Amino acid sequence: MESQQKIPDTDTPEEIKKSTTTQNEENLKKRKRDENEKEEERKNPIFTTGTSIFITPLNFIYPKPENILTIRQILYEDLKDIPNRPKTLQGALLTTFALEMEFIMPIVTAGFKVCIVSHGKPERVEKISDNFTVVYPKVQQWGSFHPKLFILKFPYRLRIVITSANLVGCDWNLIGQCIWFQDFFYGDDPDAGFLKDLKKFVDDIIPKKTEILKELGIDLDRYNFRNSAVDLITSVPGKYRIPCDYGFEKINQFVKKKYSHFTYQCSSVGALTGTLKKDICKSFTNNPNCEIDIIFPCFRNVMESHLGTPGAGVFFMKENSYKNEDFLHKNLCSMEGPTESFSGHLSHSKVLIIHDNYEINDETLIYIGSHNLSGAAWGKYEKNNTQLSISNYEAGIIFKSQPDSKDLKKYIISQLPFKFPPSKYLRDDRPFFIDTDMGK
């Protein structure tokens, strides 16, 4: 005989209705909780305290690093869930060396007021439309307007951004760049050093007879900069009596001891000979005999990179400078990524790490910004070291020496797009030369 199968129990219509009602109620509660959470996010958009470093997207890197940041995100008050966020940006002051109109069109047509300060000659102000102005400050014959500083006004906060990326497409998609930013809120602290330095720099780059900041709705004095995680370091063209608050003199204010080393990753290296070498060591480390690492792509790095020589046009070292017998040949280091996924990338960032034998501690100094390793950017001492002559406009930030900052600095260095400590050039390596290697 076949075994008799047990007929499964079935719910009565009343039980089914009760179960469905309960499930619907739970779904409604969950949906309500999700809506409440999203509403709280809208009321309290996330912001940064200035204790992180971000990098621009690199199309060929996989898996993607967690600290990638796009220019679109920067221009939104909240960095997450951008498609569902309202555009609350009210005014923007953007500085750049290079400017690509196709790249900036989505920005200047978004409905808020924009002023771009860019390199160009002659000195002038161009009012493109009611919402868009371009300023070309006065530059010296051999100087450059080179900072990448953004001041972004949202309804209840001001965002300050320092980056190495110009307002061109390739800088935000193909070449490694560093980004720092911090949000500041309403308050009153006129003695904050960051505020004083920021106001002075804005005054230096905006023509005196204009009211650019007023047109943008930006009043720097309305915000409290007391909690800035960093200090601002700038360069402005001119000849300054010592002491002054620009270039070499400014960064040396944060060098409170004698350091054994500095490591500099940059995209342009000047003629590092003679007195300039001594000035660099003295200003960065208070040690004329310090050890030096200069991270700059060798020819091999460029040829093995994803972009090849077409992507190396942003790296400036001339063959004659390198052939000078006084040049720092033994101090050059390869441009290598911090992990295997970064292999083959080229980085346009400018980062200075001042340290003792690669140990990262509370006294380590980290600079990030637009300054390359040159006298044009940092200055040249003249008249028996009583005067500093600067050719370029530059802007950057520094994480200074302070108690309990070791872990933060280790974290910052772990977010950089290059390996630290770096590796010296191999025996047969030599730098990529902008004047003789392009097109190979």
Which residue segments constitute the domains of the chain, with CATH numbers given?
A: 54-222 (3.30.870.10), 231-414 (3.30.870.10)
Kindly list the distances between the CA atom of residue 12 and the CA atoms of 17, 24, 431, in Å, as whole numbers in the listed order.
9, 18, 82
Kindly give the parts of the chain with pLDDT less than 70: 1-27, 29-47, 81, 439-440
Q: What is the largest CA-CA distance in the chain?
A: 115
Using a 10 angstrom Cβ sphere, with 0-12 exposed, 13-18 middle and 19 or more buried, the burial of residue 402 is: exposed
Phi, psi for 23 (deg, rounded to 5):
-65, -40
* Identified catalytic residue from 146, 345, 355, 371: 146
From the CA atom positions of the chain, what is the Rg in Å?
26
Q: Is 148 annotated as a binding residue?
A: yes
Residue 12 CA, chain-centre distance (Å), reads 66
CA distance 398 to 365: 7
305 CB-side CA count, 13 A: 26
Q: What's the order of all strands across the beta sheet hosting 261-265?
A: 231-235, 394-399, 365-369, 351-355, 261-265, 291-295, 332-333
Tell me what pLDDT residue 331 has: 96
* pLDDT tens by residue, 322-355: 999 889 999 999 999 998 888 889 999 999 999 9
| Strand (E) or helix (H) holding 157 | strand 157-163
Tell me what pLDDT residue 188 has: 82
Which amino acid, one-letter code, is at 183?
Answer: D
348 catalytic residue (yes or no): yes
Question: Do the beta carbons of residue 268 and residue 144 sit within 8 Å?
Answer: no
pTM: 0.89
Place of tokens 């940059």: 266
Tell me what pLDDT residue 209 has: 84
Q: Is 350 annotated as a binding residue?
A: yes
